[in-house]
Amino acid sequence: MTSTELAAFAGLLADPTRAAICLALLDGRAWTAGELAAHAKVAASTATEHLNRLLSGGLLTERRQGRHRYVQLADARTAELLEGLVAHLNPAPQRPSGLRASTAAAALARGRTCYDHLAGRLGVAITDAMTSTGLLTQADGLGVTPAGRSWLTTELGADLSCPTGRPLVRACLDWTERRTHLAGAAGAQLCQRFRDRGWLKPVGSGRAVRLTPAGERAVADLLGLDPAQLV
């Protein structure tokens, strides 16, 4: 890659509207152009121009269903890139103004999805609990132990085959906690199994999540995690 190509790629995010679109898509869902225009507070035509740039630059992918065009992040690597960039911002960002913004920010900090894995206080606490119980190791970078593989497959029914060549485990620096949470195929499978078993519920319309009562009992039984840590 040449310096010109790198600058052009970086320029895809060097616009507040395009950055807002990409951050919204970190929830892992496919959005319509109209939904993203409303989220970014721009005209539909303006949103379309920005979406076309992001699509041509490889950050987004699209599919059409009837008259609607849906877009989403290209893949997990793109989500990890975005989350990593956010983690490099000033660790003391400006406090949100207004009760609604403050409530939304607190919910995101408490627990959220980062594309397809868990982040925030919830994600970090689960990662720490898995480490303390010997399911993960952080001795030389983040890794899954043999006991962890067995736990993920037998207790959660996770599929760890990684058919797309995605890393089984990746350490993702959490941008609110400034600590590591579990990403990679194992993190995605863990999040999906939590969803499938009704252990997670959304908070509002964004990507904030929290444990259900059944989820609180599950993390206490399986990982010895006190749900009070997550409040």
Tell me the C-alpha to C-alpha distance, in Å, between residue 11 and each of 2, 42, 52, 80, 220. 14, 19, 14, 18, 45
| Sequential pLDDT tens for the chain (231 residues) | 688 888 988 899 999 999 999 988 988 888 999 999 999 999 999 999 999 999 999 999 998 887 778 999 988 888 888 887 887 776 544 555 565 656 777 888 889 988 889 999 999 999 999 999 999 998 888 999 999 999 999 999 998 887 667 789 988 888 788 888 999 999 999 999 999 999 999 887 678 899 999 999 999 999 999 888 777
Short-list 101, 135, 131, CA closest to 208: 101
Task: Compute the C-alpha angle 47/52/54, nearest 5°.
Answer: 95
Q: Whole-structure pTM over 0.85, yes or no?
A: no
Sorted by where each begins, the domain ranges of the chain are 3-74, 80-230
Task: List CB contacts of 126: < 8 A, sequence separation 6 or more.
Answer: 118, 181, 182, 190, 219, 223, 225
Report the distance separating Cα 160 and Cα 168, nearest Å: 7
Report the distance separating Cα 119 and Cα 127, nearest Å: 10
Cβ-based burial of 90 (10 A; exposed 0-12, middle 13-18, buried ≥19): exposed
pLDDT computed for residue 161 by the predictor: 81
Cβ-based burial of 10 (10 A; exposed 0-12, middle 13-18, buried ≥19): exposed
In 3-state terms, what secondary structure has residue 224?
Answer: coil
Cβ count near 38 (within 10 Å): 13
Q: Name beta bridge partners: 67.
A: none
The CATH number of the structural domain formed by 3-74 is 1.10.10.10
Cβ-based burial of 164 (10 A; exposed 0-12, middle 13-18, buried ≥19): exposed
pLDDT computed for residue 206 by the predictor: 75
pLDDT computed for residue 92 by the predictor: 47
pLDDT computed for residue 27 by the predictor: 81
